[in-house]
Amino acid sequence: MDERGAGPTQSGGGDEPPAAIAPDSLGSPRPEVETGASRADAPIERRVIFGLATLAATNPVVVFLFTDSALLCLGVPIVATVVGQALIAQKAATIVKAYFFNALALLSILVHAEVALTYGLPELVIENLYSVEGGYYFNRPLLHQHFDSPEFSVTYRTSAQGYRIGTGQEPSHVVHRADWLFLGDSFTQGAQVEYEELYTTRLNLHFPDKVVVNAGISGMGIADEYALFRSRGAALKPALVVLQVGNFNDLMNVEPQTIGIAERAMARFAVVRLLLTGLRYRDPASLPLGRWTEPFYPDSASNARYNVFYKESSAGKERDLQQFAYYLRLLKEAVEDSGGRLMVLHLPTREQVGTAALQEVMDAFKLSADMIDLERPSMFLRTLATTLGVDYLDLLPSFRESSERMFFEQDEHLTPAGHAVMAAATAEYLERIVGSPQVAMLSRELAGDRYPSPSSDGTQVAYQSIRDGGAELFVADAAFKERRRLTFNRVDESHPVVSRDGVRILFTSGSAESQETDVVIMNVDGTGRRTLTSEPDTFGAIPTFSPSNLQVAYAEWTRETAGQLSNPQIVVLDLLTGTKRYLTPPGSEAWRPVFSPKEDEVSYIRKLGEQFEIFSFNLKSGVERQLTDTPFDEWDPRYSPDGSALYYAARPDDNWDLFMLDLVTGSTRRLTRSIGDEWDPAPSADGRELWFAGRFGSLEAIFRMPVGAER
């Protein structure tokens, strides 16, 4: 209007009527605008028209379909109508009215489009895998996806917390603590391989009593990983945080990723994803070599700017490296503040490892050998890690030694073999830090195996495992190589115990939730199934054989006249005569009896106040003795083969650990000190090993550890 001094160029005739571009059908309150400033009372027709328009825009049905909330489907139209009517009654503020109805119209269009797409054309919906948390993306919880490409086909599941889990693992399981936390990008997320093939899973199987959490997310850089550690990681109090760094793109554009309104809208609205995905994300087939070649670029300016291997540098590249050092220091400090230590795991690119890939890039992008230095990132990171006092493992030598095909061809990520090499090298390094693993995992599938019960000769072990959503019984050899499933049905079967002669098996049958379970005995070959708690309204659980196989003990309870269930009592049943002997008083909750090797004693847990303590009952004298007296729960007692000690699980901290009570001296020894849960201790026949079930993060299985020779 009054830009003076702008030179002789301000051409006149600029005020031609912009009405030419105003579509009449906009649905915006144009008539309102021209008169609103001068009238105190809006005529009734206008109120009605705008009221109807507001209601149409905030159609309760559509709002309900979008929000799934009865409250909002009523609340939104009411609030919009009230505000709209109040604004119309206002004298001035034309522009405010205009913008209010404008915003309403825009939101309404968006929500209507979203509802139309998700309900009318669901086949067009692009599944959203991530949710926005703070300043970064994380896996959406409870995903169950299949990723198929010409090179791989994998299942991708996440837990309720958004961490990736294996096919047999329980999504509702929540991880509160971690021993090792892995931060990284798509190479750690590893969505191109199955969960069991991931390097973090392989490491976890090597160090099974560690709670390992993989928080790798595609596209993350160190700034996002730092943000993720602060918001999610620090609460897990990991003793070790492993930061996976790739030369692919982790050393370029070192800054937090931009998550603006559009990104949030994409995460929330399928219709926005549909419209924007094609524009925003490049198909690798459209790239110069038909594959991702970062950090190599076709032109020298981009290489000087971004490519860490390219000798010619630029201010931008130097700044990226400085930023990387800056964030690494912040991360190190944050990790140490939460009581852990930081380790950098440095992953090479395909071009550093294979000459063919390098030659392809050099030919295509006209690079000569003297323009690039493939060792530069390692030099940079090693120096930086030394300066900061951070553990550093360069995977380049291991990758160069291996002859496996470690990267996919079109996809730039690691194959299962690549993950295996990465896991092996990392395991070797970690053993130097934490020592060789003492605990070995026996289970071969991640299927919630529990209750290991070795036979007295040590050649086989019975256990329970989840199949098709329920617990079933299995028998395996001592190495878990041969596994035989004993039961095939829809009923939960658990707590198996094999008789000393190896002929019969005793177990609990029925769902634990219903609390109406039975004790069942059958032959190991599946024949001769017989319910021991067959009397009406009588239930039982967690049975055990006596060493002579003539008696069994279990917890028994009944439905009382009022329909309520009584507290379980420990009962010993003579299999020959069918007579029962109750060891514990009625009314006091008791579970999990075990016979001493000499069959003169039964130990079990009984509730005193709020806690379970271990008791033993002398079958000859009829005297009960309290063996433990602690302010925390004890569970799962089991005699050592010579009867001189009792193994059990207890929860002195917030998790279960294994203990040994010396029955001669009365002293206790703590056997484990993990942050996971160890349960169901069962000594091997020679007493040198302890078998147990445990849960370490998402890893729930049967394990074995040495306990040394018996006293």
Partner 1 sequence: MSLTSTTYAVFLAVAVVAYGVTVSRHRGLVLLLASYLFYAQFATALVTLMLFVTIVGFFGARLLVQNPSTTVLGGLVLLTLLPLILGKSVIASSFIGFDGPFTAGVLSSGVAPLGLSFYTLQVVGYLIDVARGTVVAERSIASFGLFVAFFPQVLAGPIARASRLLPQVNTLRPISFENVYLGSKQILWGAFCKVVVADNLAAVVNTALDEPLNESGGSLALAFVLFSFQLYFDFQGYSNMAIGAARLFGVRLDVNFDRPYLAASLREFWRRWHISLSTWFRDYVYVPLGGNQRAGVGWVTAIVVVFLLSGLWHGVAASFLLWGLIHAAGYVSESAARRSHLLASFGRRYRALRMVTTFLFVALAWVAFRIDDLASIGEIYLRSFAVAQGAGYFSLNPVFWSSQMVLSVAALGSALYLEVPQRLHTLLHSTPSRPKPVAAELVFVNWCAVSVIFVGQQGAGNFAYFRF
Site for partner 1 in 265-284 (CB under 8 A): 265-266, 272, 275-282, 284
Q: How far apart are CA 388 and CA 385, in angstroms?
A: 5
Shortest Cβ distance from residue 314 to partner 1 (Å)? 8
Q: Counting contacts by CB under 8 A, is residue 286 touching partner 1?
A: yes
CA 515, CA 533: separation in Å to the nearest integer?
13
Q: Which among 124-132, 371-379, 606-614, 663-671 is the span making contact with partner 1, rule CB under 8 A?
A: 124-132
User: 3-class DSSP state for residue 603?
Assistant: strand
Could you give the dihedral angle defined by the CA atoms of residues 24, 29, 33 and 38, in that order, rounded to the nearest 10 degrees? 140
- Is residue 39 within the footprint of partner 1 (CB under 8 A)? no
Q: What are phi and psi of 620, to 5 degrees?
A: -80, -50
Q: Is 285 in the site for partner 1 (CB under 8 A)?
A: no
Strands 657-662, 212-214: parallel, antiparallel or unpaired by DSSP? unpaired
> Which is closer to partner 1, CB of 72 or CB of 265?
265
Instruction: Tell me how far, at minimum, the Cβ of 188 lies from partner 1, in Å.
Output: 12
Among 83, 106, 174, 503, binds partner 1 (CB under 8 A): 106
Q: Which stretch binds partner 1 (CB under 8 A): 166-174, 312-320, 432-440, 630-638?
A: 312-320
| Residue 434 touching partner 1 (CB under 8 A) | no
What gap in Å lies between CA 199 and CA 427, rounded to an integer? 10
Provide the strand spans (E) within 445-537: 450-454, 460-467, 470-477, 483-485, 493-498, 504-509, 518-523, 530-531
Binding status of residue 145 toward partner 1 by CB under 8 A: no
* 10 near partner 1 (CB under 8 A): yes
Phi, psi of 157 (to 5 degrees): -120, 145
Contact 259/135 with Cβ under 8 angstroms? yes
Name which position in 122, 260, 563, 609 contacts partner 1 (CB under 8 A): 260
The correct pick among 13, 536, 578, 666 for binding partner 1 (CB under 8 A) is 13
Question: Which of 44, 285, 315, 576 forms a contact with partner 1 (CB under 8 A)?
Answer: 315
For residues 336 and 60, what is the distance between their CA atoms, to the nearest angstrom? 52
Binding segment (CB under 8 A) for partner 1, from list 315-323, 351-359, 589-597, 662-670? 315-323
Q: In what order do the strands lie in the sheet with 518-523?
A: 493-498, 504-509, 518-523, 530-531
The one segment of 7-15, 52-60, 466-474, 539-547 that binds partner 1 by CB under 8 A: 7-15
- Binding region for partner 1 (CB under 8 A) out of 46-54, 98-106, 206-214, 553-561: 98-106
Q: Which one, 278 or 528, has the nearer CB to partner 1? A: 278
336: region left, alpha or beta (phi > 0 left; psi from -120 to 50 alpha): alpha
Name the segment binding partner 1 (CB under 8 A); options: 263-271, 414-422, 518-526, 535-543.
263-271
Interface positions, 319-348, toward partner 1 (CB under 8 A):
319
Cα separation, 532 vs 505, whole angstroms: 12
What are the residues whose beta carbons fall under 8 Å from the beta carbon of 539, sequence distance 6 or more?
A: 510, 515, 516, 517, 518, 533, 556, 557, 558, 559, 565
Q: Which residues from 396-415 bind partner 1, rule CB under 8 A? A: 411, 413
Q: In this chain, which of 54, 94, 517, 558 binds partner 1, going by CB under 8 A?
A: 94
Residues 619-678 that bind partner 1 (CB under 8 A): none
Shortest distance (Å) from residue 324 CB to partner 1: 14
Compute the least distance from the CB of residue 134 to partner 1, in Å: 14
Per DSSP, the chain holds a count of helices (H) and strands (E) of 17, 34
Tell which residue, 349, 343, 393, has the closest CA to residue 187: 349
Burial of 417: CB neighbours in 10 Å, binned 0-12, 13-18, 19+: middle
Q: Please work out the total of residues on this chain that contact partner 1, with binding judged by CB under 8 A.
A: 77
Q: Minimum Å distance from CB 30 to partner 1?
A: 5
Identify the residue among 39, 99, 386, 580 touching partner 1 (CB under 8 A).
Answer: 99
Question: Where in 182-201 is the site for partner 1 (CB under 8 A)?
Answer: 186, 189, 191-192
Stretch that binds partner 1, among 3-11, 429-437, 481-489, 528-536 (CB under 8 A): 3-11
Per CB under 8 A, contacts with partner 1 among 201-240 are 218-219
Among the listed residues 442, 396, 439, the one whose alpha carbon sits nearest the alpha carbon of residue 421: 396
Does 316 interact with partner 1 (rule: CB under 8 A)?
A: yes
Rounded to a whole number of angstroms, the minimum distance from the CB of residue 109 to partner 1 is 10
Site string for partner 1, 239-258 (x = CB under 8 A): --------------x---xx
Question: ∠388-389-391 over CA atoms, to 5°?
Answer: 115
Which span sits near partner 1 by CB under 8 A: 238-246, 298-306, 553-561, 654-662? Answer: 298-306
Q: Does position 4 bind partner 1 by CB under 8 A?
A: yes
Q: Is the dihedral of CA 96, 97, 98, 104 positive or negative?
A: positive
Spatial distance between the Cα atoms of 577 and 568, rounded to a whole number of angstroms = 22
Enumerate residues 469-528 that contact partner 1 by CB under 8 A: none
Q: Can you list the alpha helix ranges (DSSP code H) found in 210-299? A: 222-228, 261-268, 270-280
Kindly give, in sequence order, each residue whose CB lies less than 8 Å from that of residue 498, ignoring residues fewer than 6 positions away: 453, 455, 460, 462, 475, 504, 505, 524, 545
Contact between 8 and partner 1 by CB under 8 A: the answer reads: yes
Q: Residues 50, 66, 100, 137: which binds partner 1 (CB under 8 A)?
A: 137
